[in-house]
Amino acid sequence: MKLQAITPSHFPWFDYARYSFSLGLKTDKGAYLSGHTASEFDPVSKRIVVHGNMTDQVKTAYSKIGTILEASGMGFQDVVRIVEYVRPEGIERYAEAAAVRAEVFGAHQPTVHTVPVNSLLRPEAYIEIEVTAAPVGRATDVGSNASPARDSAGLVYLPTVQPVDSQGHIVGAGDIVAQTAYIFEKTGKMLAALGLGFNNLVKTVDYLTPSGLANYKGTGRIRKQHLGPIYPGAAGLIMSRLVHPEALIQYDFIASRDPLECINPGWTRYEKLSYSPAVKAGRMLFMSGQGSLDPATEKIVHDNDVVAQAEYTYSNIIAVLKAAGAGPQNLVKTIEYVTPSALANYKKVAQVREALLQTPYPASTGLICQALLRPEMMIEVDPFAILD
């Protein structure tokens, strides 16, 4: 398998060749795009700027995405999954983003993941949009008001699952364990409607608020009740607020119809956890988020140094890839979650990517979270790879 950077002949917003990520990668499984905002180079100020209200910004982001998809030989009709990263001010105007999305996609309905973030790397941006284009399978109504679940070549994307009932009311107010239990109850019904079960899950990503953190460990019991015997890859991020203002936690899920295999470099710490370092489904490798945690000692290394933490994190990711018989050349996409304290030196992480990764660089999205589950961590990287 050869990964191919998507390089539009005309991309007027900025010079994408200057960065340590690709606008998107074309693979034999589809196209995986980086997250895109309304950012563009301003020749007068000679810097990247973001203009416009939510509607304007979403239209610009989708213009970029359309240009990249066209360069890959695909279009909006090939999109199976959309992730919309929205900062708090954007959540209040999220209906505007949904209206533009409906205009862009028409009758075609990809699965939508709505992810509130503390901020975006472009602070004027309300929203960043990331899409996956791949073979389009059936869409199944699983009771989500936002979007259907979508099949794509053996993968199944579920829409974001929130702890709200059919009337939009919060369930388990103030209780993160009760909210997690309700989310898994809803998810079980979604999976059953697709002819699947929890044993088909390859990736879970949960977002929680600081007020839910004290009892977050209790949600592990809910995961162990439902997940396995091969635990999915996972990531957990702390954000200042979620889609519903009373939600303490929300989840995104990906499942596979292919047989699953756990991939582990030999890290024994995962024997007590409800997630795996990585799960292989066909040639897809769904990896857990990694940070600067020593797998042997479970201690954080390189305190207060985001560049050194990034180098250690990417080394851990490469160790997982190696255990799968792969390498950095197989990385298709990375999501970098950084804390506010990391921002001053975050630009230097590009040098780490240039040193440890290979061209074509993976698609990438960079986001600002409230904090990470280990407070000493300044960066967590959520990777995805496709094997040869």
Q: How many domains does the chain have?
A: 1
Q: Answer whether residue 146 shows pLDDT above 80.
A: no
Beta strands 260-263; 278-281: pairing state: antiparallel
Per the document, the length of the chain is 388
pLDDT tens for each residue of 28-65: 999 999 999 999 999 999 999 999 999 999 999 999 99
pLDDT tens for each residue of 296-339: 999 999 999 999 999 999 999 999 999 999 999 999 999 999 99
φ/ψ of 153, rounded to 5, equals: 50, 50
Domain with residue 48: its CATH number is 3.30.1330.40
Which helix (H) or strand (E) is 95 found in, with range? helix 94-105
- Residue 213 counted as domain residue: no
Which helix (H) or strand (E) is 99 found in, with range? helix 94-105
- Residue 63 counted as domain residue: yes
- Residue 342 counted as domain residue: no
Q: Dihedral, CA atoms, 10, 11, 12, 16, nearest 10 degrees? A: -130
Quote the pTM value: 0.97
The partner residues of 280 in beta bridges, in order of sequence, read 261, 285
Over range 341-349, report the average pLDDT.
Answer: 97
- Residue 374 counted as domain residue: no
Which of 255, 240, 48, 252 has the alpha carbon at shortest distance from 153?
255
- Residue 209 counted as domain residue: no
- Residue 76 counted as domain residue: yes
pLDDT tens for each residue of 159-183: 999 999 989 999 999 999 999 999 9
Give me the domain span that covers residue 85.
1-136
